[in-house]
Structure 1
Amino acid sequence: MNLHALRLFHVIATTGSVTRASELLTISQPAITAQIKKFEKELSIPLLKPQGRGITLTEAGAEIALLAKRLFAVEQQIEQYAHHYRTGTHGSIRLAATYLPSHFLLPTWLAKFKQQFEQVDMMITTTNSSDALKQLLNVDVDIAIYGGIPENYPDTIQTEELFQDELWFVVAPGHRFANQHVSLEEMVKEPFVMREEGSSTRERLLSLCRTYSTSTPSISLQFNGLYEAIMAVIAGYGANFVSSLVVREYVERGELCRVYVDGIHLTNTIAICTRKNEPLSASTTNFIAMIRQNPVS
């Protein structure tokens, strides 16, 4: 089927006039008439008939005009969708985030983003550090928001640092180390309440002990969530090694106290991770741009 001729017929049917169609399409009337006659011959159906000094649709022409109207409406929808997808106003983003940014940064980021790009679908997975990067490498997600020490994937992962977050040792206010300066060797003799294996902060604590050749701390309680681990320490058991973003408000309210370990000052990297040399969708690019403008909630 000659879609160009169908489009000419659609404009004639919509305007009710070959003359008006000629003006809108900037095509001469004889050229349009010749195309329509050729199209009628192709279909073996008369589409137009004279009426007074003008033309009108035949019965078959009216039915085909209705179908053409639907077809070109769908064409317009496709063009609109493509435009929206290119500009990032529609689409989807698959995101993996480690617990720290997921709980303390993403809620604000997502709220700001959805206010501007309501039609973009967001699929978020909260997981530990190693699994977040694994999902990115396996193309299960488009972007990973990482809190920790970025693992070394020089050929596959692109990392953009947003900011550095301090790591603190914390205990309950009644603990003998509360607000005190102690050595690392003293600190690691305390029972620790930590997240599960695979947590970057837990791995940082163990790595710290290896670096300074101290004994490995006893992780006496293990939780899958940050909140549960913090609540256990607030309740009076053990110590935690944790992001300042997580516990700063608890410390300010006096529910937790810092322990200042001599010579130790560690930070987490909060970073955006993407796959190297792979183009991002417009919606993902817009989301990353929004994060850059609002790195800390």
Structure 2
Amino acid sequence: MEGQDQNGSRTSAGGGLLAHRVPDLGALELLLAVARLGSLGGAAREMGITQPAASSRIRSMERQLGVALVDRSPRGSRLTDAGALVTDWARRIVEAAEAFDAGAQALRDRRDSRLRVAASMTIAEYLLPGWLLALRAQRPDTAVSLLAGNSTAVAERLLAGEADLGFVEGLNVPTALDSVVIAHDRLIVVTAPRHPWARRGRPLEASELAATPLILREKGSGTRQVLDAALGGLARPLIELSSTTAVKAAAVSGAGPAVLSELAVGEELAMRRLVRVPVEGVSLARDLRAVWPTGHRPVGPARELLSLTRG
């Protein structure tokens, strides 16, 4: 009778694990090659091993099974009656293993045919395009979909199984996610050139920044979380918007001051459409992270994308 051990491995009435009593696939493939070619040396060459190694493997299999499988002579190698019977069984095992391998490859191909990425807005707009172009050069057949949202939405998509890899810019790693830092960023205060802050002669105090209505991202965004934590609270927003691009456009229009990632405003600062306002008494540095569900490290295209971000 057959049963299972405590780990779910198959056992039989003879005792012991099946894997300890049945030769491995390499040994069975070698036996099949000997049967087909009638030569241990020819089988060794086909398998890419030396003849002594092939002979040793056959002897080991004979000891494991307790029967002689191959008669060796100067004229070649011939299967014994027991060897012929074992060869028939081996052929069925190898065919089943080939079917198993083909099925596993089909699963990998299906997994690798698509990549679903969820990213918070700053990363989605200013970092991911370059990373995805690099990934496309490596995997031109992988279809990539990008879901952009705030850091809270990224976590929700990952935990719901709607994304394979996420990127967030919040202060903390969302619950039930593992993470790795892939870049560093800094939030800066910016205004249109005609705003009074653009002409002030000294840095802005952190308390004044906290008390001033600002153009802000929505609650749940990484930018909002970092700023709120750094200042210990914020005044009621002047305007609350759902994307970095929208916040930047409002600031450029002169609607009021905003706090944005350095990554997002390089061109506007260079063209003097926005002016950076120094702030003292507070650090607005933050880490940008790749995230995934705890215990499920990225594989396939997700793993390659993660490697590109850290390169």
TM bucket normalised to smaller: 0.5 to 0.7
In the alignment, what sits opposite 1:161? 181
SS where residue 247 of structure 2 aligns?
A: helix
| TM-score normalised by the chain length of structure 2 | 0.62
* Partner amino acid, structure 1, of 2:179: T
Shift of the alpha carbon at 1:187? 2.7
Matches within 5 A, 1:62-81: 79=102
Matches within 5 A, 1:245-260: 245-260=263-278
Following the alignment from structure 1 to structure 2, what is the Cα–Cα distance between the partners of residues 188 and 175?
A: 17
- Equivalent in 76, 85, 92 of residue 108 of structure 2: 85
Q: Contact 2:126/2:264 (CA < 8 Å) preserved in 1?
A: yes
Structure 2 residue 131 is the aligned partner of structure 1 residue 109: yes
Following the alignment from structure 1 to structure 2, what is the Cα–Cα distance between the partners of residues 178 and 81?
A: 61
In the alignment, what sits opposite 1:201? 223
Shift of the alpha carbon at 1:207? 2.7
Q: Which moved more, 1:111-120 or 1:282-291?
A: 282-291
SS where residue 271 of structure 1 aligns?
A: strand
* Partner amino acid, structure 2, of 1:159: S
- Equivalent in 217, 227, 231 of residue 249 of structure 2: 231
Matches within 5 A, 1:13-52: 26=36
Q: Contact 2:168/2:222 (CA < 8 Å) preserved in 1?
A: no
SS where residue 219 of structure 1 aligns?
A: coil
- Equivalent in 286, 303, 306 of residue 285 of structure 1: 303
In the alignment, what sits opposite 2:157? 135
* Partner amino acid, structure 2, of 1:169: V
Following the alignment from structure 1 to structure 2, what is the Cα–Cα distance between the partners of residues 27 and 248?
A: 69
In the alignment, what sits opposite 2:82? none
| TM-score normalised by the chain length of structure 1 | 0.65
* Partner amino acid, structure 1, of 2:282: I
Following the alignment from structure 2 to structure 1, what is the Cα–Cα distance between the partners of residues 246 and 228?
A: 20
- CA deviation map 1:119-160 (0-9, x unaligned): 11212110111110122122221111112223353xx32111
Following the alignment from structure 1 to structure 2, what is the Cα–Cα distance between the partners of residues 273 and 111?
A: 20
Q: How many residue pairs end up in the alignment?
A: 219
SS where residue 198 of structure 1 aligns?
A: coil
* Partner amino acid, structure 1, of 2:267: E
Q: Contact 1:179/1:257 (CA < 8 Å) preserved in 2?
A: no
Shift of the alpha carbon at 1:27? 5.5
Shift of the alpha carbon at 1:279? 4.5
Shift of the alpha carbon at 1:91? 2.7
SS where residue 141 of structure 1 aligns?
A: coil
In the alignment, what sits opposite 1:64? none
Following the alignment from structure 1 to structure 2, what is the Cα–Cα distance between the partners of residues 254 and 190?
A: 23
- CA deviation map 1:262-281 (0-9, x unaligned): 21221121111122222433
Structure 2 residue 162 is the aligned partner of structure 1 residue 176: no
Following the alignment from structure 1 to structure 2, what is the Cα–Cα distance between the partners of residues 89 and 185?
A: 50
Shift of the alpha carbon at 1:195? 1.9
Moved over 6 A (4+): none
Would the alpha carbon gap of residues 281 and 186 (structure 1) be closer, same or farther in structure 2, given more than 3 Å must change? Answer: closer
Would the alpha carbon gap of residues 210 and 234 (structure 1) be closer, same or farther in structure 2, given more than 3 Å must change? Answer: same
Following the alignment from structure 1 to structure 2, what is the Cα–Cα distance between the partners of residues 132 and 152?
A: 9
SS where residue 273 of structure 1 aligns?
A: strand
Shift of the alpha carbon at 1:241? 1.0
CA-based RMSD:
3.0
Any gaps of 5 or more consecutive residues in structure 2?
1-32, 39-94
Would the alpha carbon gap of residues 250 and 262 (structure 1) be closer, same or farther in structure 2, given more than 3 Å must change? Answer: same
Q: Contact 1:85/1:283 (CA < 8 Å) preserved in 2?
A: no
Percentage of identical aligned residues: 21
Following the alignment from structure 1 to structure 2, what is the Cα–Cα distance between the partners of residues 92 and 152?
A: 25
Structure of higher RCO (CA pairs closer than 8 Å, 6+ residues apart)? 1
Q: Which moved more, 1:182-191 or 1:284-293?
A: 182-191
Would the alpha carbon gap of residues 279 and 168 (structure 1) be closer, same or farther in structure 2, given more than 3 Å must change? Answer: closer
